[in-house]
Structure 1
Amino acid sequence: MLPPRIERPSLDGDLAVDIAIIGAGFAGLAAARRLSQLDPRLGVAVLEAGVIGEGTAGRNSGFIIDVPHEVSSDDYGGDGLGHAARDLAIHRRAIELVTEMVDEFDWGHDIVDPCGKYNIALSAEGDRHVSAYAAQLKNLGESCQLLDAKETAALTGSAAFTSALFTPGTLMIQPAAFIRAFADALKDPVRIFERTPALSIEGGENGWLVKTPRGFVSARKIIMANNGHAQSFGFFQGRLLHVFTYASMTEEFDPSRLGGHRKWAATPASPMGTTMRRVQWQRGDRMLIRSRYTYNPSMTVGERDVSSAGALHDRKFSYRFPSLAGVKMEYRWAGAMALTWNSVPAFGELEPGIFAACGCNGLGASNATASGIAAAESVLGVNTPLTQIYASYAKPTALPPQPLTTIGAKVSLTVKEWRAGVE
């Protein structure tokens, strides 16, 4: 939906830096930003295998969420007030960094919009989830507002929804535009190299050597900010679950065809339910719909996966917005997540001088951004409330042997999706 990017050049030749970051998504760019804040003299190389904004970060649905909500959880309540407070601190540190950049670089609402989000229901069971979630948030002292069916219809333009809960702290982003702007805001001595995949990591005289197609990067320290692909370098073997989620976006339609607000975003009452977002665009509006989760240990998906999810999206879209009959989907895509069995980040010093900021467990825009900040602080030995939180996490637990992991993951996702029902 954006014009072609003016790319940063690929690495051509050898380079010596203080710190190399592998991956230029939320975690990698946040790490680079934080490093430059802590020590503006540091030489930093950020290696992106593809083009900025075309990877998983650019395929994000655009929610930088503050309140607790994990894809890997069975409910929105978390497992106690202490864990909820921890999650709030993590997410709000991510939002703080983004807000700093909005103010510094004068980004408009077309990139970052502090508009909040809704949690939305389509059934009596969904209503109970929404009400319970509201009670949990109020118990935490968090601001929220319940909407009844009439108010929810006035918001969405659809009578299919039965209730909603508004929380004001979420930032909504245009993810590809945001990642591009974030990368372009980083200046020397932080250097970004696009279309520069890291092929291997080897020990060097002064630390580590990262091999790329046309040169080596020599670095004292490395931050792995490539989520599930940390396994491609031998880390976290047998400890990451590779899950893909799927989204579709409509062609532009005449806004008069759908009442309600022209800009809103909603996560589902059931954690395995359907995320919706209405987006104002150039000649009209678009609807984004995200649903379906699949376990893909190869870290790849095929056309069949996207097509199957797309058929589900079409049915969900028709049920929610009958007034938009005939509006077709223009884009369909998948995005990768890395989950751990015990729902902790894949984080910390893996070998002397190699740090990981991986395993977001869903909520990638919030969790990965915070993980990148904490990794940068850890690399430089800076003690902060955020690094203390990350230091308190257990390590990712080992998954069961194959084929038990594959069978268990697929059955679990299928059952949870079935339980979500109409949501």
Structure 2
Amino acid sequence: MSRGAKNVFVASRLPKRAGVSGWVATLPPRRPRPALSEAILADVAIIGGGFAGLSAAHRLSQLDPTLRVALFEAGIVGEGPAGANSGFIIDLPHEVSSDDFSGESEGKFRDSVLLQRSAIALASQLASENGWGEALFDPCGRYSIAMSEEGDRHLEAYSQQLSKMGEAHRLLKGKEIEAVTGSKAFTSGLFSPGTVIIQPAAYVRSAAECLKAPVRLYERTPVLSFERSGDGWLLKTPHGSVQAAKIILANNGHAESFGFFRRRLLHVFTYASMTEEFDPARLGGDRKWAATPALPMGTTVRRINTGGGDRILIRSRYSYNPGIEITDAAIRSAGGLHDRKFAHRFPALAGVGMQYRWGGAMALTHNHVPAFGEIERGVFAACGCNGLGASNSTAAGMAAAERVLGHQSELVGVYSRLAAPVLLPPQPLTTIGAKIHLAWREWRAGTE
């Protein structure tokens, strides 16, 4: 990035796809929207066509249907990190860490719930208005599942916390969770009904297709730079440009590629594998369910009913990659771990192979807050998802849209109370610390 008196911000790198997501590969072909090839005017330009960018565009359109919005996606909608997501729009935090459940932790819990349920409200409205079916958008809830005594204790403690907050949930013992999953490997589970399960690539595709004019989406159109121009900003792309009054950066970790939040974002990849289709008669239990692990950084599992057969998704393994890209070798290495986890959980499916493997980028901050707010005059960030990308990025995109228009809401209030991302240690300390911490957290998760 170069940044001088004229406020010029130049992208130092562009997003790269990390393998082929099974979510994308199992969808029918789609014709992308044309790339920008001329000079245009817009009231708001949005950089990034994932959960945050699409949600910002829809929220802007809701608040002011006359607003000219230009949304730029560097690649093809659904084929970036959003389409690599595990597909949980979660309404509750994974845990509340305070043992005595103090007023401060209760407040953080309620703020987190407000953010995540705001995301679900927008997603539910889009699903209702556009007739999305359960294969794309299913408000069926989720399970947290344990495979060890430690995991069991964690779910029991979490259940007590949820009870104190008046949140509906249900604990399941071994036989009960086996009846859901068809697997004897799981020792207990906790069901929470508020989570929505999505086919993430289909969701972001559909959210893009239902954008209403004068919102315009440009795919295969990376923003290469933007600079101050009069009272607004001039954004340049490979074959066009846009003069916009305001900008929303909805490109998560790639905000750093423009020079923002330097030494404040941790670029972490998580990995997933999806099996080939198998005969559903081979595995008992429900044919469609989704489960997060009882312990942090454990293994996420989904059973997907595809009509012609079923598939299992396994997500596990985390790596720190400050260059915001990974190699095929890293995906293969994570895939070996997935194979072992799959075999342990589902011995009845011996011989069923993995058909798709991929990685997805996340942007974390050391103090677990988003990279959010007005970072230059007229430039607003909705980045730093800290995991839970479908929920947190959607909420951040909505809040950024509201900030752009000066709209006051409870959602904006929550973001206004959050601290800024703290500075990370200098290199190589950050890399050493991040890799040790990730390895330790995965070791702590154990069999989970």
| TM-score, normalised with respect to structure 1 | 0.98
CA distance in 2, matches of 1:74, 1:335: 30
AA aligned to 1:254 is: D
AA aligned to 1:216 is: S
**Which aligned pairs between 1:276-355 and structure 2 lie closer than 5 A?**
276-355=301-380
CA distance in 2, matches of 1:235, 1:201: 13
Which residue of the partner structure matches residue 19 of structure 1?
A: 44
The one of 386, 391, 406 equivalent to 2:411 is 386
The one of 111, 125, 144 equivalent to 1:100 is 125
Shift of 1:74: 11
AA aligned to 1:214 is: H
**Which aligned pairs between 1:168-247 and structure 2 lie closer than 5 A?**
168-247=193-272
AA aligned to 1:65 is: I
Q: Deviations over 1:172-201 (max 9, x none)?
A: 000010000000010210000000000011
- Aligned residues, how many? 421
The one of 267, 272, 279 equivalent to 2:297 is 272
2:164 maps to 1:163: no
The one of 109, 115, 132 equivalent to 1:84 is 109
Shift of 1:283: 1.4
CA distance in 2, matches of 1:129, 1:308: 29
Shift of 1:69: 2.4
Secondary structure in 2 matching 1:222: strand
Shift of 1:282: 3.1
CA distance in 1, matches of 2:403, 2:355: 43
Q: Deviations over 1:194-218 (max 9, x none)?
A: 0000001111124101110001111
Q: Deviations over 1:331-356 (max 9, x none)?
A: 00000000001100000000100000
Tell me if structure 2 keeps the 8 A contact 1:350–1:356: yes
CA distance in 2, matches of 1:256, 1:69: 32
Shift of 1:301: 0.4
| TM-score, normalised with respect to structure 2 | 0.92
Q: Superposition RMSD on alpha carbons, in Å? A: 1.4
CA distance in 1, matches of 2:351, 2:303: 17
Tell me if structure 1 keeps the 8 A contact 2:34–2:219: yes
Secondary structure in 2 matching 1:419: helix
AA aligned to 2:408 is: N
Runs ≥4 residues deviating over 2 A: 72-75
Tell me if structure 1 keeps the 8 A contact 2:98–2:105: no
Shift of 1:54: 0.3
AA aligned to 1:136 is: Q
Secondary structure in 2 matching 1:80: helix
Tell me if structure 2 keeps the 8 A contact 1:120–1:268: yes
Which residue of the partner structure matches residue 411 of structure 1?
A: 436
**Which aligned pairs between 1:74-153 and structure 2 lie closer than 5 A?**
80-153=105-178
Flag the 1:400–1:73 CA change in 2: closer, same or farther, 3 A. farther
CA distance in 2, matches of 1:107, 1:278: 20
Secondary structure in 2 matching 1:276: strand
CA distance in 2, matches of 1:73, 1:339: 18
Shift of 1:240: 0.2
CA distance in 2, matches of 1:278, 1:87: 27
CA distance in 2, matches of 1:200, 1:182: 26
* Structure 1, unpaired ranges of 5+: none
CA distance in 1, matches of 2:251, 2:387: 14
Shift of 1:6: 1.7
Tell me if structure 2 keeps the 8 A contact 1:74–1:271: no
CA distance in 2, matches of 1:129, 1:228: 31
* Structure 2, unpaired ranges of 5+: 1-25
Flag the 1:73–1:348 CA change in 2: closer, same or farther, 3 A. farther
